[in-house]
C-alpha cells in the first residue's frame, strides 16, 4: 500500500512531560475511508496522541503527516482537513442550533448564504432539523453530541477525530450516533476515535490499536485480535475454588485466569470443555463468546486506573 493511501501517517511519535513518557515511539497509520479506534486505560497515552495529531502538542520525536501534509510544520493547513469532536461540549449556550453552526462555518470562510445549505443538510442527517431555532440548553445529551459532530463536518473534512463520542448517552442515542458514523464512513470519510466502550469499537472500527504505557500493544481488526489473543469462547466460574475445576479439565486446551472471586477459562473451542464439565456434574458456570473487552482486560490488566 502506497503512502498516499494513508490519511494519517505517523512514525515514531514520542512525547514526554518531564520524566513521564506519555507517548513512546508510536506508529499510527490510518487508511483512507477507514475507522480506526485507539483503546486504552486512563493514562495510556491516547489523549496525548490525539493532541499531537490535532496540533495541541508538538511531538518530541517522529514524523506526522495528515492528508499528505506535514502536521508539525504546517499544522494549520493540516487542521483544515480535520473535523474535531472533543469529549466535552464546546457549544455556545447563548446561541441557537443554527447559529452555532453558522458561526463555526464562518471560521472556514463560509458566508451565511453559502453555509445555509450545508447546515440544513447536516441537521437533516443527524435528525436535528426541527431543533433549528432551539437554544442549546434545551437539547438532550444525545442531541448535543450529534450537533458537535455536525459542527465538525461543516467544512467537509477528510478526517473526523472523535474523543469518546457517546460517553453518557442512553442506548437509543448511542445507536443513532453509531448509525450516522457508519454512513459517513461509507461515504469515504476517515474516522479516528478513542473510546472506553468496547462494544462501540467493535461496532465501528475496521482496525483498533490497544495502547498502554505510551505504546501500542496490539493492532488489527477487532474480531481477528480477539480470536488470536483470547479465543472463541470464555467460561466464567464465580465463587469457586480453581484447582478442582482445573483438575476436571486436565489435558484440554484452554488458558485460565483468576481475578477476585471469578475464574476465567479462554478457549478456541468450548465444546470439549463443556462436555467435560457436564460429565463431572458441574453446572455453576457461564459459557459465552469471547469479546473485545476480554482482549482489552487481558492486555492491560483488571486493576482500576484513575
pLDDT per residue over 236-261, tens digit each? Answer: 999 989 999 999 999 999 999 998 89
For residue range 18-41, what is the model confidence (pLDDT) as tens digits?
A: 999 999 999 999 999 999 999 999
Residue 1 has a pLDDT of 46
Beta-bridged to residue 35, according to DSSP, are 191
Under-70 pLDDT residues of the chain: 1-4, 302, 304-306
Task: Report how far Cα 244 is from the mean position of its chain's Cα atoms.
Answer: 40
Residue 99 has a pLDDT of 95
Beta-bridged to residue 9, according to DSSP, are 29, 65
- 120 phi, psi to nearest 5 deg: -60, -40
For residue range 102-132, what is the model confidence (pLDDT) as tens digits?
A: 999 999 999 989 999 999 999 999 999 999 9
β-pairing verdict for 159-163 and 6-17:
unpaired
Rounded to whole angstroms, the Cα distance separating 191 from 182 reads 10
| Residue 183, CA atoms < 13 Å, CB-side half-sphere | 9
Q: Is residue 44 within 8 Å of 36, Cβ to Cβ? A: no
H helix runs in the chain, sequence order: 46-54, 75-79, 97-106, 112-125, 141-152, 171-186, 198-204, 222-229, 242-248, 271-279, 292-300
What is the model's pTM? 0.91
Amino acid at each position: 500500500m502506497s503512502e498516499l493511501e494513508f490519511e494519517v501517517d505517523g512514525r515514531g511519535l514520542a512525547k514526554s512531560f518531564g520524566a513521564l513518557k506519555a507517548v513512546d515511539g508510536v506508529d499510527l497509520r490510518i487508511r483512507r475511508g477507514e475507522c480506526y479506534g485507539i483503546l486504552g486505560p486512563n493514562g495510556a497515552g491516547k489523549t496525548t496522541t490525539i493532541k499531537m495529531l490535532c496540533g495541541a502538542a508538538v511531538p518530541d520525536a517522529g514524523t506526522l503527516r495528515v492528508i499528505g501534509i506535514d502536521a508539525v510544520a504546517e499544522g494549520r493547513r493540516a487542521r483544515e482537513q480535520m473535523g474535531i469532536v472533543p469529549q466535552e461540549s464546546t457549544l455556545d449556550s447563548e446561541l441557537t442550533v443554527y447559529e452555532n453552526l453558522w458561526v463555526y462555518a464562518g471560521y472556514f470562510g463560509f458566508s451565511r448564504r453559502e453555509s445555509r445549505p450545508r447546515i440544513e443538510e447536516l441537521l437533516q442527517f443527524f435528525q436535528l432539523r426541527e431543533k433549528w431555532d432551539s437554544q442549546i440548553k434545551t437539547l438532550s445529551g444525545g442531541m448535543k453530541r450529534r450537533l458537535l459532530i455536525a459542527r465538525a463536518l461543516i467544512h467537509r473534512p477528510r478526517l473526523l477525530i472523535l474523543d469518546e463520542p457517546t460517553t453518557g448517552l442512553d442506548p437509543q442515542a448511542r445507536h443513532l450516533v453509531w448509525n450516522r458514523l457508519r454512513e459517513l464512513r461509507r461515504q469515504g470519510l476517515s474516522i479516528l476515535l478513542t473510546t472506553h466502550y468496547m462494544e462501540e469499537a467493535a461496532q465501528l472500527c475496521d482496525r483498533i490499536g490497544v495502547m498502554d504505557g505510551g505504546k501500542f500493544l496490539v493492532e488489527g481488526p477487532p474480531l481477528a485480535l480477539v480470536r488470536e489473543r483470547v479465543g472463541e469462547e470464555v467460561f466464567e466460574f464465580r465463587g469457586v475454588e480453581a484447582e478442582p475445576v482445573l483438575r476436571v479439565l486436565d489435558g484440554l486446551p484452554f488458558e485460565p485466569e483468576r481475578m477476585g472471586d471469578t475464574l476465567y477459562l479462554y478457549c478456541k473451542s468450548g465444546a470439549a470443555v463443556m462436555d467435560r464439565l457436564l460429565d463431572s456434574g458441574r453446572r455453576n458456570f457461564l459459557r459465552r463468546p469471547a469479546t473485545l473487552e476480554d482482549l482489552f482486560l487481558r492486555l492491560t490488566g483488571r486493576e482500576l486506573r484513575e
